[in-house]
Chain A
Amino acid sequence: MENFKICFMGDQSVGKTSIINRFIYDDFNINSQSTVGVDFLSKTIFVENESVRLHLWDTAGQERFRCLIPSYVRNSSLVVIVFDITNKTSFKSIEFWMDTVQNERGDDVIVFLVGNKTDLEDERQVSLEKLEKEANKNGFLYLETSAKTGHNVKQLFRKIGISILKQNKKRKELIKPELDENTSLMNISLNIDPNKLKQKEESGCC
């Protein structure tokens, strides 16, 4: 079974850990501890007759922890950026988290925007239309969830599974023709400019 790495990011206290816990344990703990550094959980899901193993990396939301994130984004198949629909600032921060992703990966990664806490409809500050607009502008997937009630959480991970499989198939098809033309794997990896790679490793605060 293939493993896929998924990285969760987004402002402090928007519900990253809670969404993951709802998905893994089908549980919601109002007293969840704040995440320090990174956390990890995994689960297998079945989509389109295939089983997919998801490795979920959960990161601390304070801006300062951003510099620890690149090594987790580096090999991710998909990045989930979470915001809190009752908190405008966390929505504005999407751009900030996007920078972190794009610095590391350019546009070569699927991004999922998730507006959490739909159970607090009365306190909503960010409309679904706004989320839709932001996602469409950048070609991201999007969904609203409530980790507390479980609303859309299964749906979120189903969609994650489907888009990862789709991308994986595309990638495999891309590599195949080159191999057919007697190109060795070696040549493919050499297509990456080693200087560029090095620069990337050296940049950033950590």
Chain B
Amino acid sequence: MAETYDFLFKFLVIGSAGTGKSCLLHQFIENKFKQDSNHTIGVEFGSRVVTVGGKTVKLQIWDTAGQERFRSVTRSYYRGAAGALLVYDITSRETYNSLAAWLTDARTLASPNIVVILCGNKKDLDPEREVTFLEASRFAQENELMFLETSALTGENVEEAFLKCARTILNKIDSGELDPERMGSGIQYGDASLRQLRQPRSAQAVAPQPCGC
């Protein structure tokens, strides 16, 4: 599945435990809600190619564990991320209160220029809401974040969140604000030409030695 693409962006999904980070990723990649979603250990990985503004972009998405103890491991994945979904649960003020800490982590460990979109997840549970839209959008404004309320269950705004983040990065590349050539930008050019030069996979299989070494 060596598709061609114009750009590759490295994305993070961060936020407190149980806010629905893995479900957002699953909804984005599989287009359905993950019923039996076990909590994430360390970091899990997903990837999808999207078309934004006429460009094909491969998103390489790192879905991180929310529990504090894993930070020492998850932090090592922050470096060189171009974008991040910062997730809280609208039915849990606690997850909202820890947003500032997560944001600091992202900006110091990934890059000060990381494009962050704030996602108030579990929008479908409106009756249990503990954080208002207004309050969160004010926080987003103060911290220069984009903001959406999402539902990994219904899929509402999930695709939008990822696309919006990707579009902003593309715009910043166009305007010269972001330089893909810079080390650790989290952006790579898709070297389609190189890929096409490659031999077909069957010819590459250099008859590996019998397994079990």
Chains A and B belong together in one complex? no
Interface residues of A (CB under 8 A from B): none
